[in-house]
Amino acid sequence: MSFTLGQPVTEFTAQATNNTTVTLSELKGKKAVIYFYPKDNTPGCTSEGQTFRDLYADFQEADTLIFGVSRDSLKSHENFQTKHEFPFELISDPDEELCKLFDVIKLKNMYGKEYMGIERSTFLIDREGILQHEWRKVRIKNHVEDVLQAAQALG
């Protein structure tokens, strides 16, 4: 399953850090960035999260919520969040429900081994729950800045 730009994102509810539940319909009226990353405490994922953290105030000014998603457990997420002082919630998706909804599980190759894993991807949803931007196969350098500009441009 995958969404088309300009179309509504399918309703979802997911468990996140700090005993929060994220439900798409409850985000109405705010813009939301949902970024998928492979694993807590790995160099690329840490760097990406830190950049979202460092630009968090700018995202808040743009009235945009941020949620990070991986298959890691809530406990792993809470340790990762605390260690790097992320001011946004991390969604745990061990059953890959959200990953499948956004079609981010892809065949990957590391050290000659093929496996199914999360392809680093980011989605920007507007105040009405419509998918406005998607970034797939993300390269971290300047990515968060691009997402921020897109969020600011949505007004």
**Please, are residues 32 and 64 in contact by the beta-carbon 8 Å criterion?**
yes
Q: What is the CA radius of gyration of the chain?
A: 14
Catalytic residue among 45, 66, 125, 150: 45
Q: Which tokens hold the place of 27?
A: 């985000």
Give the whole-angstrom CA distance, residue 55 versus residue 32. 14
CB 84, CB 53: distance < 8 Å: yes
For residue 142, the tally of other CB atoms under 10 A from its CB is 10
Active site annotation includes 99: no
Question: HSE of 138 in the Cβ direction (CA atoms, 13 Å)?
Answer: 27
Task: Give 8's Cβ-side CA count (13 Å radius).
Answer: 9
Q: How many CA atoms does the CB half-sphere of 45 hold within 13 Å?
A: 20
Q: Which residues are tagged catalytic? A: 45
